[in-house]
A and B are shown apart, each in its own frame.
Chain A
Amino acid sequence: MRPHWLAYWPAFRAGLLLHLAWGTVLLTLAVIFGPPLAWILGQQPAAALIAVLGLAGRAVIGVANARPLWQRAASAGLCLRTTLLAACAGHLLVFGPLALLGADSGALLTAQRGAVIVPFGADLALALAATAAGTLIGARASRRRPGRSPRQRLLRRLGTEANGPRTGSRSL
Chain B
Amino acid sequence: MRPGSVMGRGTGAVLVLLMVAAALVLATGRELGHRMTVAVCSGAGDCGTFPESPPVCQYYGRDRVAAQETFAFAQQQAAPGARLIQFGDGSAEVLVSRAGAPADVYGFLRYQDAQHWVLDHSAELGSVADAAAGPSGQGIRDGYLTLLRRIGLEHESTVVPRAAAIALADDPLGGSIGAYRQSPDGEVSELTVLIPFDAASQQLKNLAERLGLWDFIGYTVELDENREPVKLTLSGPAAEGWSVDTLRAATPGDGRFLPADRRGPSGLAEGQVLVRSYSLDLRRQANATVYREAFSLGSVASTAGPVLSAEEDMDWLDRGELYGRLADRIRTDAVFIEAAHAVPGMAGDEDVLRRAAEGLVIRLGPEDAPDTRMADARTADLSIAESQPEPLLSCDLDAAGQEGA
Contact present for A109 and B136 (CB under 8 Å) = no
Chain A, Cβ-Cβ closest to B8: A14
**What is the CA–CA distance of A71 and B40 in the complex, to the nearest angstrom?**
49
Verify if B397 is at the interface (C-beta below 8 Å from A): no
> In angstroms, how far is the closest chain B Cβ from the Cβ of A56?
12
Contact present for B140 and A98 (CB under 8 Å) = yes
Verify if A88 is at the interface (C-beta below 8 Å from B): no
Interface centre among B23, B134, B147 (most CB of A within 10 A): B134
Contacts of B4 in A (CB 8 A): 68, 71-72, 146
Whether A38 touches B124, Cβ cut-off 8 Å, given contacts A27-B140, A109-B96, is yes
Contacts of A98 in B (CB 8 A): 133, 139-140, 143-144, 147
Interface centre among B29, B104, B137, B144 (most CB of A within 10 A): B137
Q: A126's contact among B19, B119, B135, B139, by CB below 8 Å, is which?
A: B135
**What is the CA–CA distance of A39 and B16 in the complex, to the nearest angstrom?**
32
Chain A, Cβ-Cβ closest to B98: A111
Whether A10 touches B128, Cβ cut-off 8 Å, given contacts A98-B147, A105-B145, A123-B136, is no
Q: B134's contact among A39, A51, A103, by CB below 8 Å, is which?
A: A51
Contact present for A35 and B134 (CB under 8 Å) = no
Whether A95 touches B140, Cβ cut-off 8 Å, given contacts A14-B12, A105-B146, is yes
**What is the CA–CA distance of A107 and B144 in the complex, to the nearest angstrom?**
12
**What is the CA–CA distance of A135 and B286 in the complex, to the nearest angstrom?**
84
Q: Looking at chain B, what size class is its interface with the partner chain?
A: 35 or more
> In angstroms, how far is the closest chain B Cβ from the Cβ of A34?
4
Contact present for B123 and A100 (CB under 8 Å) = no
Contacts of A26 in B (CB 8 A): 132
Contacts of B29 in A (CB 8 A): 28, 31-32
**What is the CA–CA distance of A107 and B80 in the complex, to the nearest angstrom?**
14
Digitize A130-154: 1 where CB-to-B-CB distance is under 8 Å, 0 elsewhere. 0000000000000000110000000
Whether A46 touches B19, Cβ cut-off 8 Å, given contacts A31-B26, A97-B147, is no
Which A44-63 residues sit within 8 Å CB-CB of chain B?
A: 46-48, 50-51, 54-55
Which B118-158 residues sit within 8 Å CB-CB of chain A?
A: 118-119, 121-147, 150
Contact present for A127 and B140 (CB under 8 Å) = no
Contacts of A101 in B (CB 8 A): 139, 142-144, 146-147, 150
Contact present for B146 and A51 (CB under 8 Å) = no
Whether A99 touches B132, Cβ cut-off 8 Å, given contacts A11-B6, A39-B37, A39-B44, is no
Verify if B284 is at the interface (C-beta below 8 Å from A): no
Verify if B304 is at the interface (C-beta below 8 Å from A): no
Verify if B25 is at the interface (C-beta below 8 Å from A): yes
> In angstroms, how far is the closest chain B Cβ from the Cβ of A132?
15
Contact present for B143 and A30 (CB under 8 Å) = no
Contact present for A35 and B119 (CB under 8 Å) = yes
Digitize B89-133: 1 where CB-to-A-CB distance is under 8 Å, 0 elsewhere. 000000010000000100000000000001101111111111111
Verify if A78 is at the interface (C-beta below 8 Å from B): no
Contact present for B128 and A43 (CB under 8 Å) = yes
Chain B, Cβ-Cβ closest to A31: B129
Contacts of B144 in A (CB 8 A): 27, 31, 98, 101-102
Contact present for A68 and B96 (CB under 8 Å) = no
Contact present for A33 and B125 (CB under 8 Å) = no
Contact present for B139 and A17 (CB under 8 Å) = no
Closest CB pairs A-B (n = 4): A102-B139, A123-B134, A102-B143, A98-B143
List 23 A-B pairs, Cβ < 8 Å: A26-B132, A27-B26, A30-B128, A32-B25, A34-B125, A34-B131, A39-B41, A39-B44, A39-B47, A43-B128, A46-B128, A46-B131, A51-B134, A54-B132, A68-B6, A101-B142, A102-B146, A108-B96, A109-B82, A109-B126, A123-B134, A123-B137, A126-B134
| Contacts A35-B129, A109-B121 known; 4 new A-B pairs at CB < 8 A | A32-B36, A48-B135, A51-B134, A119-B137
